[in-house]
Amino acid sequence: MEVPFYGHVRQYHNLKKEIDEAILNVLESGAYVMGPTLERFEKELAEYAGMAHAVGVNSGTDALWLAMMAKNIGPGDEVITTSNTFFATAEAIWIAGATPVFVDSDPKTHCIDVSNIEDAISPRTKAIVPVHLYGQCAEMERVHEIAQKHGLTVFEDNAQAIDAHGDTFKIGQFSAAVGTSFIIQKNLGTFGDGGAVLTDDADLAQHVRKLRNHGSLKRSVHSFGFNSRLDDIHAGILSVKLKRITEWSDRRREIAAMYTEGLKDSGLILPYEKPGYRHVYHLYVVHTPAGQRDDLLKYLNDNGVDAKLHYPIAIHQQEGFPWGKPYRIAGDLKNTEFNAANCISLPMFPELTQEEIDYTIQTTLEGCRKIL
Ligand SMILES: *Cc1c(COP(=O)(O)O)cnc(C)c1O
């Protein structure tokens, strides 16, 4: 049996009629860029997220750096974040012109370990970028307290956790802006690239609207800007999918519960759901206890389970920095390095079948018996 890692085409087939219609409507309308389909999706997204403004942009990476730039984060500034994330979190900080400062991740949730943040603050620190990793929120109430105390601005990297929240807070409540990604593999993904900035700050939203469109809000009138727009075809597709997001995250949670029950005696370290947090399982990440990861990954892949790694080389372990390290490390990054050495992501998408779920559990158990 082959269990794929992604279910994009299955999802398309399930919604084919509505998605085809949404695409054809845009094609027939003649309005492909900055048109009414984008405007409608931005309204729907803002309403769904409970935020005043959503601004569609070209990617999740752009969403983050455009928001930072709109709040004047730039050269000379430091931004505290985590090295235990997709590369783009740091990339966005670099593009804005600032320097990422990495603190270690929490050994259980793998999100930023908030207890490390205060020690990392320097006179140059301007912002904190927590990442809602794998589909679970970082501890935003504590991040907010620290930010308030030290006068720092918070930007949330929410590429992975749309529809997650805490019982007592929502994503976006404690920050200047949230950056979301709509690349296909995210929980809300289009057939291509896309992203959005969500904010309650009208000035910030307006500034991003200007930056994304060549510094222009009015035809022929420009100031400093870029080209980073969300195309109307993608907005049309995302409108169809947004209506399903809660149902899809519920299904992800159901699959996660089956994995967790099935693997409880496997010897693996299983995902930790922080009490009072809705984890939406963008990824279901297990950890080998002591470096047996590559053998287990090979066993799974050889037996048809397309497990993958998120992220086997943390950002500070990357070597593609020929001009010296463009970041600062605060404290040690032990938990991040443990994650890089031991993480394995099992197939996780709402369209997985019961047979595929059962086969993944059985194959993982067999692999663990042989290898751990
Ligand atoms: C995917 C991702 C991004 C970047 O999103 P793109 O749309 O690919 O630019 C940023 N941060 C995290 C944590 C991500 O997973």
In this structure, are 116 and 24 located in the same domain? yes
37-43 average pLDDT score: 98
Query: Given this model, what pLDDT does residue 52 score?
Result: 98
In this structure, are 47 and 181 located in the same domain? yes
CB distance 239 to ligand 1 below 6 Å: no
Distance 304 CA to ligand 1 centre (A): 27
Q: Which of 212, 242, 272 is the last residue of a domain?
A: 242
Distance 57 CA to ligand 1 centre (A): 13
Supply the range of the domain harboring residue 58. 8-242
Distance 88 CA to ligand 1 centre (A): 6
Query: Given this model, what pLDDT does residue 315 score?
Result: 98
Inside any domain, residue 100: yes
Ligand 1, atom 13, residue with closest C-alpha = 86
Q: Which of 179, 207, 242 is the last residue of a domain?
A: 242
Share of the chain above pLDDT 70, in %: 100
Query: Given this model, what pLDDT does residue 312 score?
Result: 98
Distance 86 CA to ligand 1 centre (A): 7
CB distance 22 to ligand 1 below 6 Å: no
Q: Which of 6, 68, 86, 184 to mutate to test the pocket of ligand 1 (most atoms within 8 A of CB)?
A: 86
Distance 319 CA to ligand 1 centre (A): 20
Distance 84 CA to ligand 1 centre (A): 13
In this structure, are 237 and 268 located in the same domain? no
pLDDT above 90 (res 81)? yes
Distance 11 CA to ligand 1 centre (A): 21
Q: Which of 242, 271, 298 is the last residue of a domain?
A: 242
> Per-residue pLDDT tens for 238-296?
999 999 999 999 999 999 999 999 999 999 999 999 999 999 999 999 999 999 999 99
Inside any domain, residue 256: yes
217-237 average pLDDT score: 97
Inside any domain, residue 1: no
pLDDT bin (cut points 50, 70, 90) of residue 219 is very high
SS (H, E, C) the chain: CCECCCCHHHHHHHCHHHHHHHHHHHHHHCCCCCCHHHHHHHHHHHHHHCCCEEEEECCHHHHHHHHHHHCCCCCCCEEEEECCCCCHHHHHHHHHCCEEEEECECCCCCCECHHHHHHHCCCCEEEECCECHHHCCCCHHHHHHHHHHHCCEEEEECCCCCCCEECCCECCCCCCEEEEECCCCCCCCCCCCCEEEEECCHHHHHHHHHHCECCCCECCECCCCCECCCCHHHHHHHHHHHCCHHHHHHHHHHHHHHHHHHCCCCCCECCCCCCCEECCCCCEEEECCCCCHHHHHHHHHHCCECCECCCCCCHHHCCCCCCCCCCEECCCCHHHHHHHHHEEEECCCCCCCHHHHHHHHHHHHHHHHHHC
Q: Which of 57, 58, 59, 61 to mutate to test the pocket of ligand 1 (most atoms within 8 A of CB)?
A: 61
294-319 average pLDDT score: 98
User: Mean pLDDT score of the chain, rounded to an integer?
Assistant: 98
In this structure, are 237 and 254 located in the same domain? no
CATH code, 164? 3.40.640.10
Inside any domain, residue 123: yes
pLDDT bin (cut points 50, 70, 90) of residue 10 is very high
CATH code, 268? 3.90.1150.10
Query: Given this model, what pLDDT does residue 322 score?
Result: 84
pLDDT bin (cut points 50, 70, 90) of residue 177 is very high
302-319 average pLDDT score: 98
Total of domains in the chain: 2
11-34 average pLDDT score: 98
CB distance 138 to ligand 1 below 6 Å: no
The model's pTM is 0.98
304-333 average pLDDT score: 96
Task: Please state at what angle helix 16-29 crosses helix 232-242, rounded to 10 degrees.
Answer: 150
In this structure, are 203 and 277 located in the same domain? no
Ligand 1 atom nearest to 182, measured from its CA:
7
Query: Given this model, what pLDDT does residue 323 score?
Result: 87
In this structure, are 276 and 231 located in the same domain? no
Q: Which of 94, 157, 228 to mutate to test the pocket of ligand 1 (most atoms within 8 A of CB)?
A: 157
Inside any domain, residue 3: no
